[in-house]
Amino acid sequence: SAVISQKPSRDICQRGTSLTIQCQVDSQVTMMFWYRQQPGQSLTLIATANQGSEATYESGFVIDKFPISRPNLTFSTLTVSNMSPEDSSIYLCSASEQNYEQYFGPGTRLTVT
């Protein structure tokens, strides 16, 4: 299985600012995804990060708020823009090959004050 790292592991940010989260995979993977997990809740898919093209966003998530980059097959970034306290959450990236098994990074714990 792929080994996935994320930076930063946690951050406390002021409202109105933006934070970019990095996700690095130790091998080339076909698919990369970004999720959000609110306290006590399950995972919600934000978007699929497509290599070389725009990300595919799920209902309720938009590019202006969550711009995503994927410049190659091992790396992706998620930016949380113009943050508000409602954006406080854990953000997780994952990677998979064609068999749909996904492996997750350790997550980024974001607190917006």
Q: How many residues line the site for another protein (CB under 8 A)?
A: 21
The reply on whether position 41 binds another protein by CB under 8 A is yes
Is 103 a binding residue for another protein by CB under 8 A? The answer is: yes
Q: Please report whether residue 53 would count as binding another protein according to CB under 8 A.
A: no
Residue 21's CB is within 10 A of a number of other CB atoms, namely 23
Our finding on whether 92 is near another protein (CB under 8 A) is yes
Alpha carbons within 13 angstroms on the beta-carbon side of residue 30 total 7
For 74, the token pair is 């091992």
Q: Which of 22, 45, 67, 69 binds another protein (CB under 8 A)?
A: 45
CA distance 21 to 79: 6
Instruction: Say if CB 74 and CB 24 are below 8 A apart.
Output: yes
Element (H, E) at 111: strand 108-112
Among 17, 30, 56, 82, binds another protein (CB under 8 A): 56
Residues that bind another protein (CB under 8 A): 1, 33, 41-45, 48, 56, 58-59, 92, 99-107
